[in-house]
Amino acid sequence: MSVSRRRITGFVALIVIFLIGSVYVFPSLFQNGDSGSPDSDVIEPHYFNDLNWWDIPNELAFTSDLVTYMSGIDKYKTRHMLTEPEAYYDAAEYISQKLEALGVETWYEGEHQSLMGVKKGFGNDDRAIIFSAYLDTEINFEYPLNFNTGACAMLLLIAEILSNYRLSIDVYFSFPSYSKSGDYLPSGTLVPLYYGAEEISDYLIDNNIDILALYDFEGLMLADEGYYAGVDLTEPYRQSSFLAELLRVFLLRNGRDILTVTANDFDLSDQVVYLPKGIPTVHVEGRDTIDPDNPPVESIYSSDYSLDKVLALAKASASLAVFLSYSGNGNDVSEKLVLELESLQSVVDWKMMSISSPLSVEMTANASASIDIQLQDDEGNLIDAVTLSGQTASATLSESPGIGPRRTLVRNTGNSSIQVQLVFDYQFDFDGDDVPDSQQYSWPDPVPAIDWDHDGLSDTEERIAGTDIFIRDTDHDSMLDGYEVDYGLDPLRNDQLGDLDADGLTNIREHTLGTFPNSTDTDRDGMDDFWEVSFLTDPLVDDALEDPDNDTLTNLDEYLHGADPMSADGDFDGVPDVEEVALGMNPLSDDTDGDGLRDQLELLEGLDPLRPDYDFDLTPDGLDHNPRINSLLVIFGLAFLPVLIGTVFFWKRLQ
């Protein structure tokens, strides 16, 4: 019994040893696919895919960019059209150059030379949104960073964010002069002269620009307590309060409760010009006031100033513009929310409702889930609620959510953590005419953004190809998605080391060279790409009839005869290529027939460089002491001669 047990134990041990060894010797048997090869790379989607178009600006704005723009403007601290016109124009030119580089057309407007810029939209949506910050400083003012370098820099940052988008609405950037820098009475009292704002408003009205909103920014750096959004409460809700609350909602979506909507007295604000002319305007300004006993340190990096809040305001402003631009084209708002929720965890999201139409929600989860969703007003009062269960579910969250800021409270009531995607669908009516924007505005294909990652494929084409619209090189093989699709490569597989056209050049090398990976002869000059690359001719230009080595053989001749187009004697054997080609020799070998004698020596000795055994004596010419005389015949002759003589002798004797 013990012997059998030992035999079984030994047998099991051998099997275990064999399996362990097999893992090391034959690892492919225990793997799913060729994990070690470039062709099997796992493609991870870009996290932008989990975001709404209007949430992406939050990922594109950086404090460093804001500091860069502020530093460029702050070189011209005192910039006043009356006292420092040169500094004013220098600052304006700096801003203009930055805007032009971002695709914004700029010009000086009016006699007082306010700087204007516009990023034009497309389609039939001719609406416009305007971001404004006065450019000049007050005479002898001590705090130009707060008034108004920070706001001007923020407008540049908004333009930089929006340069990534193809928008349907026009976006204007306004930098008025003389906004608050008027005349001073002998008593020192400032008399505001809004020349720049007046001329800008006249331009907008005279050109029949359909203005959605004008957001006027001022005094943004001194904002420990946040910002005021000044509105005219006597105006219709859509003309001011709605616009201010819309901006506030986009700040709240980023967790920044830093904007308070309040009545504006319009004493020293450009609203005093815009609102009476029917231009819907919101004035945004820091809540803090300057303490004369403890004034702020005038420095970009001063702890007295709030770069963080200015950055948040830039993100919210850009998000607002994108949101308005994307509401239309026959589609209601479809707002995505992707979450990872622990058991009993809650998340708050914000929306701005503009028309009392149904708000629906659809859920997709990675496992069976139980989600409670509450719709609340701005004060936290419950409007409606639904519970979604399972892996997929949908419901109407509210038939009549009302108008204004709305908070959605999402809670995982299940016992385990989940990954869940919620899609909220609702109508949006910005102007309050009871006609949803989706029915008023449309644009031709492709819908925005046309090519977000600039990889040569429109977003629509990328969806068809299965590539990621936010990654220029989805499979990370160093070839852009558009390039791979254009030339028949696989944009979803790392095929850089493959050779689609089997011409000897890898796909990535053809990409680097500019040759076509799906053609053996890119320039169609009769010479294949690999040969041209190897012999330094141009695979992108038809150079078949050129003769760079001046040996009277064209490149095509040299290709057809296997010669070197860059050398008149490619094998350096002393015989010019043209002569070798004429004689049928190999111009890249100094011993064409491989007999051990150089071609040049064979020609000098009168031998045949194409025949390895000139005298057919079965000895290669290189080893033959006398390659012209067949040694076998000599030996045969010498051996046959005595026989012949003897035969003749005996023949005669016999006669």
Per DSSP, the residues of 393-438 read EEEEEES---SEEEEEEEEE-SSS-EEEEEEEEE---TT-SSS-HH
Rounded-to-integer distance, Cα 481 and Cα 487, Å: 10
For 642, residues 6+ apart whose C-beta sits below 8 A from its C-beta are none
Name the nearest CA neighbour of 246 among 232, 229, 225, 264: 229
| One-letter identity of residue 526 | G
What integer pLDDT is reported at residue 560 of this predicted model? 82
Which residues of the chain carry a pLDDT beneath 70?
1-41, 179-192, 265-268, 446-448, 570-571, 577, 588, 590-597, 599-608, 610-641, 643-644, 646, 649, 653, 655
Report which residue type is found at 613. D
What pTM does this model have? 0.79
pLDDT given for residue 42 in this prediction:
75
For residue 544, the number of C-alpha atoms closer than 13 Å in the C-beta half-sphere is 13
Question: Parallel, antiparallel, or unpaired for β 404-412 and 359-376?
Answer: antiparallel
Asked whether the beta carbons of 156 and 96 are under 8 A apart, the reply is no
| Per-residue model confidence (pLDDT) at position 25 | 38
HSE-CB of 300 using CA atoms within 13 angstroms:
18
367/416 Cα distance (integer angstroms): 9
Residue 243, classed as helix, strand or coil, is helix
Residue type present at position 640: F
CA distance 252 to 579: 84
pLDDT digit string (tens) for 33-69?
333 344 456 788 999 999 999 999 999 999 999 999 9
- Beta-bridge partner residues of 263: 231
Residues of the chain with CATH 2.60.120.380: 333-427
Residues 6+ apart with CB under 8 A from 51: 59, 336, 338
What superfamily does domain 61-325 belong to in CATH? Zn peptidases (3.40.630.10)
**pLDDT at position 30:** 34
Fold of 333-427: Jelly Rolls (2.60.120)
**pLDDT at site 444:** 74
| Cα–Cα distance measured from residue 373 to residue 230, given in angstroms and rounded to the nearest whole number | 33
User: Distance between CA atoms of 197 and 268, rounded to whole angstroms?
Assistant: 12
Query: In Å, what is the CA distance from 579 to each residue of 170, 464, 571, 621?
Result: 71, 57, 13, 21
Are the C-beta atoms of residues 426 and 373 closer than 8 Å to each other?
Answer: no
Residues 363 and 654: their CA atoms lie apart, in Å, by: 125
Contacts (Cβ under 8 Å, ≥6 apart) of 103 = 119, 163
Token pair, residue 44, equals: 């991870």
Cα–Cα nearest to 408, from 397, 393, 419, 394: 397
Number of other CB atoms surrounding residue 15 within 10 Å: 10
How far is it, in rounded angstroms, from Cα 495 to Cα 112? 60
489 vs 478: CA distance, rounded Å: 12
* pLDDT tens digits along 478-488: 999 999 999 99
Distance CA 181, CA 296 (A): 22
Residues of the chain with CATH 3.40.630.10: 61-325
Q: Do 134 and 270 form a contact (C-beta atoms < 8 A)?
A: yes
